[in-house]
Structure 1
Amino acid sequence: MKLIGSSTSPYVRKVRIVMAEKKLDYRFAEESPWADDSQVSASNPLGKVPCLVMEGGEAVFDSRVIVEYLDTLSPVGKLIPSTGRERAEVKTWEALADGVIDAGVLARMEVTWQHRKESERSQAWIDRQFGKIRSGLSAMSQGLGEKPYCSGIHLSLSDIAVGCALGWLAFRFPEIEWRDDYPNLARLHDKLALRPSFVDTQPPAA
C-alpha cells in the first residue's frame, strides 16, 4: 500500500499513527495538495490528502474512511469497536477532533492563502472558527474527565484523533493555551506523545 500525504497534515498523521499501531506495512509518498505541481488529484479527484493507494491501483480517501478500513486488516491493536454504542462513541470522538482541525484549517487558510487579497480576508470568519476550536476543546476536556483515555481504559481511535488535533494546534496555533486551560488534555497529549507511533510522525518544525 502507498499512502499519499503531507507530513504536516494532522489527517495524514492520524492515518500514519493507525498504521503504526496496527503494525501495517506501507510506503509513504510525501505530497502537498497545495503545491503547483501536485499529483494528488491523479489518485483522489478531490485533490485532498490522505489518499491510500492499494496494490491494484484503486484508491481510498478521507482519513475517516481510511482508518476504518485499516482497522479491519489486522487483529492487532483493535482501535474501533465493531458495533453498538461503543463504536458510535469512538467515531463521535473522531468527528469532534477532526472538527476542531477543520475549523483551524479554515482559520489558517483565511490568513495564509496566497490567492486571497488582504482586503478580502474576514476577521469575523476567523473568529467564528476560533469559537469552534474553543468549544471543541471544552467538549474534549469534559468528555475525557479523569479517565486515562477518551473512551475508557485502553487506547482507541478516539485518543489518536484527539492527540493529532492537539498536536496540530500546538504546531500551527501555539497562541491557543489549551494546555493551561485543560490540564487533563495536556496529560493525555503528553502520554500519547511518548508512543513510538506519535514520535515517528511528529510534524517537522515550522
Structure 2
Amino acid sequence: MKLIGSATSPYVRKVRIVMLEKKLDCQLVLQDVWADDASPDACGPLGKVPCLMMEGGDAVFDSRVIVEYMDALSPVGKLIPAQGRERAEVKTWEALADGLLDAAVLARLEATWSGRSDAQRCDAWIARQLGKIHSALAAMSKGLGDKPYCSGIHFSLSDVAVGCALGYLDFRFSEIDWRAAHPNLVKLHDKLVQRPSFIDTAPPAPVQS
C-alpha cells in the first residue's frame, strides 16, 4: 500500500498515526496537491490527500474511510469499537475534530491562497470559520471533562483525531490560545505528544519569513 499525502496535512497525519499505532507497513508518498505541476489524478478522483493506493491501483480516499479500513486490517491496538454506542461516540469525536480542521483549513485558505487578491478575501468568512473552531474546542473540553482520554479510560481514534486537530492549531494558528481556556485539553495533548506515533508524524517547523 502507498499513502499519498503531505507532511503538513492534519488529515494525513491522522492516518499516519493510526498506521503507526496499528504497526502497519505503508509507504508514504509526498504530494503537494496545491503545486502548479501537481498531477490531477495522483490523489484519486477528488485530487485530495490523504489517498491510499491499493495493490492493483484502486484508491481509498477520505481520512475517515482510510482509518476505518486500517483499523480493521489488524487486531493490534483496536482504535474503533466494533458496534453500538461506543463506536458512535468514537466516530462523533472524530467528526468533531475533523470539523474543527475543516473550518481551520477554510480560514487559512481564505487568508493565504495565492489564487485570490487581498481585495477578494472575506474577513467575515474567516471570522465565521474561527467561530466554529472556538465552538469545537469548547465542545471537546466539555466532552473530555476529567477523563484520561476522550472516550474514557482507553486511547482510541477519538484521541488521535483530537490530537491532530490541536496540533494543527499550534502549527498554523498560534494566535489561538486554546490552552488558556481549556486546561483539560492541554493535559490530554501533552500526554498524546509523548507517544511515538505523534512524535514521528509531527509537522515540520514553519519557515520563518
**Could you tell me whether the CA contact under 8 Å between 1:41 and 1:48 is conserved in 2?**
no
Once the two structures are TM-superposed, the CA of residue 60 in structure 1 deviates from its matched residue by: 0.2
SS in 2 for 1:56: coil
What are the equivalent positions in structure 2 for 1:1-206 lying under 5 Å apart? 1-39=1-39, 41-206=41-206
Distance 2:15 2:21 in 1: 10
Q: Deviations over 1:18-69 (max 9, x none)?
A: 0000000010001111011113623411110000001221110000000000
Q: Deviations over 1:107-166 (max 9, x none)?
A: 000010111111111100000000000000000000000000000101000000000000
Amino acid at match of 2:177: E
**Could you tell me whether the CA contact under 8 Å between 2:50 and 2:62 is conserved in 1?**
yes
Q: State which drifts further: 50-59 or 124-133.
A: 50-59
**Could you tell me whether the CA contact under 8 Å between 1:33 and 1:48 is conserved in 2?**
yes
Q: Which structure 2 segments of 5+ residues have no match?
A: none
SS in 2 for 1:142: helix
Amino acid at match of 2:51: C
**Could you tell me whether the CA contact under 8 Å between 2:43 and 2:50 is conserved in 1?**
no
**Could you tell me whether the CA contact under 8 Å between 2:5 and 2:30 is conserved in 1?**
yes
Distance 1:93 1:102 in 2: 14
Distance 2:190 2:74 in 1: 27
TM-score normalised to structure 1 length: 0.98
Distance 2:96 2:41 in 1: 27
**Could you tell me whether the CA contact under 8 Å between 2:33 and 2:48 is conserved in 1?**
yes
Distance 2:40 2:55 in 1: 17
Amino acid at match of 1:116: R
Cα 1:161–1:17 shift into 2, 3 Å: same
Amino acid at match of 2:77: G
Q: Deviations over 1:91-114 (max 9, x none)?
A: 000000000000000000001011
Distance 1:171 1:55 in 2: 34
Amino acid at match of 1:62: D
**Could you tell me whether the CA contact under 8 Å between 1:3 and 1:52 is conserved in 2?**
yes
- What is the root-mean-square deviation in Å for CA atoms of aligned residues? 0.8
Distance 1:40 1:145 in 2: 44
Cα 1:85–1:136 shift into 2, 3 Å: same
TM-score normalised to structure 2 length: 0.97
Amino acid at match of 1:28: L
Amino acid at match of 2:29: A
SS in 1 for 2:73: coil
SS in 2 for 1:147: coil
**Could you tell me whether the CA contact under 8 Å between 2:43 and 2:49 is conserved in 1?**
no
Amino acid at match of 1:9: S
Distance 2:154 2:40 in 1: 35
Amino acid at match of 2:91: K
Once the two structures are TM-superposed, the CA of residue 16 in structure 1 deviates from its matched residue by: 0.1
